[in-house]
Structure 1
């Protein structure tokens, strides 16, 4: 599977976290996803890339790969409204990580999109969480968790209770949050090679989409969408012959 070099991946991760402050891309109007590739030369991959995310997960291929192992014990320390999403960031020396392909990948941050960006057989979920991980080479794995509308999510409420309402605001997360409770117990997954779903849309990202959704309440969903003021999901992209394995 194609990966980028550590230097490029670190740059992409930095841009993913801070691009709201430096660019005029958005989800609506002249800065909407269909125009991202035209906004800046650095964003050309959004238009020309052949391995873009998100995708519709429909036809899949059976494969034998190792189960996803999660090792989350610290939890995030900062919650940021960057104007594009709500993002929970880990401390620099966090122990939170996953094991995939016999490698360790450290959790950098996780954030949310509503409705979901990836779809399953054409279905959009109410919300999708992306947990962004990096290994010691700077390569990225994004673990995606889907949410249906249903029962309120108690762990999510720990973040929602302090959610910054204004763009470019951040707050400290003082309540102990267990990231494990933001993932389903059954961690079976689909896997494919893709990209960041925001500019610069860098490719070489390994995607792990968990099959089992969690729930959040209608009120929790409404608070997120009200804070964002609009949907914040990129439309699905063409597979261009890529395989989705499970």
Structure 2
């Protein structure tokens, strides 16, 4: 997951679901995806980001094996539009409609925003996909749940095409989202998923995330992947050590 906005709490602090700006990056910290400020050095960004280097439940991971389990279905009740699109310097992010929720056994979790990575952050048995979209949800308790959808090259996805056509080109620029951008249409038809406990995939790397990675990828056009790459050719954290965490699989 990606964000430059302020985090005003120490690593592991419960996160306010109404404060989308608090979900991701350490306040005032500068980090990138390469060089001296890249992933190998995120733990040195500031005190709040130390867990990036010392944490034991970091994300993303390579899902090599999984355990079939009776997991609750993902009950998605998202609005059919997005609010705004911002180029935040690390990715393209869309703020969600306020009424959008997710439940999976408990909840509800409110959808805060969704954003994109190229290539995919999660791997499946060593395979990396062209892109991945993360739908970030927060519970009133401060717990986070992120639905990840892997993106494969194939037939065009009209919603992703619209995002690429209208995304801001300048860092820090925010625009009103086109009404045709329906986040529901960025999901595959089947909502079977992998589940494991993990972290944010950007500083401060807080280990407060329930990961729900969809098994089936969603298809998008090669041209749209290339369009995103003009802004962000690479914005994916390398796979982290699974540290014997069990990955459960529904369906």
Question: Do residues 231 (structure 1) and 237 (structure 2) align?
Answer: no
Matching residue of 2:7: none
Matching residue of 1:51: 57
Instruction: Specify the SS of the correspondent of 1:9.
Output: coil
Distance in 2, matches of 1:203 and 1:159, equals: 30
Matching residue of 1:29: 35
Matching residue of 1:38: 44
Runs of 4+ in 1 over 6 A off after TM superposition: none
Distance in 1, matches of 2:240 and 2:75, equals: 28
Bigger proportion of residues as helix: 1
Matching residue of 1:241: 244
Distance in 2, matches of 1:236 and 1:60, equals: 16
Question: Do residues 63 (structure 1) and 69 (structure 2) align?
Answer: yes
**Deviation (angstroms), 1:96:** 0.9
Distance in 2, matches of 1:225 and 1:106, equals: 29
Q: Residues 74 and 95 of structure 1 are in contact (CA less than 8 Å); yes or no, is this contact kept in structure 2?
A: no
Matching residue of 2:157: 153
Q: Residues 76 and 89 of structure 1 are in contact (CA less than 8 Å); yes or no, is this contact kept in structure 2?
A: yes
Matching residue of 1:219: 223
Question: Relative to 1, partners in 2 of residues 1:233 and 1:14: Cα closer, same or farther, differing over 3 Å?
Answer: same
**Deviation (angstroms), 1:70:** 0.8
Question: Do residues 188 (structure 1) and 192 (structure 2) align?
Answer: yes
Question: Do residues 82 (structure 1) and 85 (structure 2) align?
Answer: no
Uncovered stretches (5+) of structure 1, i.e. residues with no partner:
none
Question: Do residues 73 (structure 1) and 79 (structure 2) align?
Answer: yes
Question: Relative to 1, partners in 2 of residues 1:136 and 1:8: Cα closer, same or farther, differing over 3 Å?
Answer: closer
Question: Do residues 14 (structure 1) and 21 (structure 2) align?
Answer: yes
What is the number of equivalent residue pairs in this alignment? 239
Give the counterpart of 2:136 among 129, 132, 135. 132
Question: Relative to 1, partners in 2 of residues 1:175 and 1:89: Cα closer, same or farther, differing over 3 Å?
Answer: same
Matching residue of 2:211: 207
**Deviation (angstroms), 1:39:** 2.2
Matching residue of 1:108: 112
**Root mean square deviation, CA, Å:** 2.1
Q: Residues 54 and 117 of structure 1 are in contact (CA less than 8 Å); yes or no, is this contact kept in structure 2?
A: yes
Uncovered stretches (5+) of structure 2, i.e. residues with no partner:
1-9
TM-score w.r.t. length of structure 2: 0.89
TM-score w.r.t. length of structure 1: 0.91
Matching residue of 2:183: 179
Instruction: Specify the SS of the correspondent of 2:93.
Output: strand
Question: Relative to 1, partners in 2 of residues 1:17 and 1:170: Cα closer, same or farther, differing over 3 Å?
Answer: farther
Distance in 2, matches of 1:45 and 1:7, equals: 12
Q: Residues 108 and 132 of structure 1 are in contact (CA less than 8 Å); yes or no, is this contact kept in structure 2?
A: yes
**Deviation (angstroms), 1:6:** 9.7
